[in-house]
Structure 1
């Protein structure tokens, strides 16, 4: 058998990292910051040593998972708000896309949930840079779209929208239900914001 090529080794590495991060997200939802690397290895169906080969401890794993979630969420935010559409259409698209992403990639849901909880479980301002970039690149575009609607207190409306989405998604995620109708959820939540705006009678 010929040795693997550099490209094959990199492909295996990326698959292993993805496998570990997916398992870590599931374990984190079950255990929070008390999660153990051994539980991640079990969930990923990998050897304990294999997980430690990629991550020296759970904090390094959590760092990688959250930053990857941030980059994925940024793509979704850009997709929702990047095209020139009326703000109400942008907000509905944003709500639908983000909810779908949360149900299919638990690490992105965890990112939003941890931001909303102000990283209560993580000591020492470990994620200050992540928090700052979240505010600039993921939160401000949402506030801007709500401002364009003419809604009063756009930051308050943005907080209510995200908080409602996090709570709503959590009902399905934590109880293991199938993905709900994300379009319907997003439409209901955005309609409550539109009522506060000048664009809706």
Structure 2
């Protein structure tokens, strides 16, 4: 048998790490901090020794998983006013939905579309959902030495941009310079509450495997606040 090249070995390593992280996210969402490396191995369909070769303890595995997810944590806010074609189609469908007729088109194409993108990202990547779920608790389940840097990075990459988008709570884009985005400011707390509510609403559909199908309805409830107020 021809020996594998360095490139092939690296490709296998990267693929195996991704496989382990995907499994770890699912196990952690199910068991929390009581998960063990053995549980991850079973979920990934790998031998215990294989997983242990890459991660000797669950703390390092979870820490690595969260930082990898942090790299794309804010992507759902990219192109805030330019929803993807799939989202555009869904927004078109909403024009026939009596419940949503009062939602301004500009709002649908911004916050509502962004909410759908985030929910769909969570449906595809449970590790990304885990990051937001732990962020809602300020990463308190983790040791302080690991929780503090994660919280700071999440604040810079997600909370601050999202708070700027939310503006003063009127659900319209606003200039960051016009907002108070200091620690514990109203704008920042509003962004934290909205994301925590979204993570909570997504929990059950994610476990049922229906989050992608339910994304539009969840976003409608949490990201079209003025419409809901009119109905009430």
Deviates most, 119-128 or 53-62? 119-128
2:198 equivalent to 1:178: no
CA distance in structure 1 between the aligned counterparts of 2:54 and 2:142, rounded to whole angstroms: 21
CA distance in structure 2 between the aligned counterparts of 1:76 and 1:108, rounded to whole angstroms: 11
Tell me: CA distance 1:171–1:38, structure 2 relative to 1, closer, same or farther (3 Å). same
| SS of match in other structure, 1:159 | helix
CA distance in structure 1 between the aligned counterparts of 2:205 and 2:166, rounded to whole angstroms: 26
RMSD: 2.6
- What are the Cα deviations for residues 98-135 of structure 1, in whole angstroms up to 9, with x where unaligned? 11111111111111111111223223342211110110
1:93 alignment partner in structure 2: 113
The offset of 1:28, in angstroms, is 0.3
2:146 equivalent to 1:126: yes
**1:73 touches 1:138 (CA, 8 Å); kept in 2?**
yes
CA distance in structure 1 between the aligned counterparts of 2:147 and 2:54, rounded to whole angstroms: 21
2:124 equivalent to 1:104: yes
**1:27 touches 1:35 (CA, 8 Å); kept in 2?**
yes
Where structure 1 has 5 or more consecutive residues not aligned to the other structure, the ranges are 197-201
Where structure 2 has 5 or more consecutive residues not aligned to the other structure, the ranges are 84-105, 173-185
More RCO (CA 8 Å, sep 6+): 1
Tell me: CA distance 1:79–1:11, structure 2 relative to 1, closer, same or farther (3 Å). farther
Structure of larger gyration radius = 2
CA distance in structure 2 between the aligned counterparts of 1:98 and 1:184, rounded to whole angstroms: 13
2:157 alignment partner in structure 1: 137
Tell me: CA distance 1:115–1:35, structure 2 relative to 1, closer, same or farther (3 Å). same
Tell me: CA distance 1:150–1:167, structure 2 relative to 1, closer, same or farther (3 Å). closer
2:54 alignment partner in structure 1: 54
Tell me: CA distance 1:141–1:81, structure 2 relative to 1, closer, same or farther (3 Å). farther
The offset of 1:182, in angstroms, is 1.3
Which of 157, 161, 174 is residue 190 of structure 2 equivalent to? Answer: 157
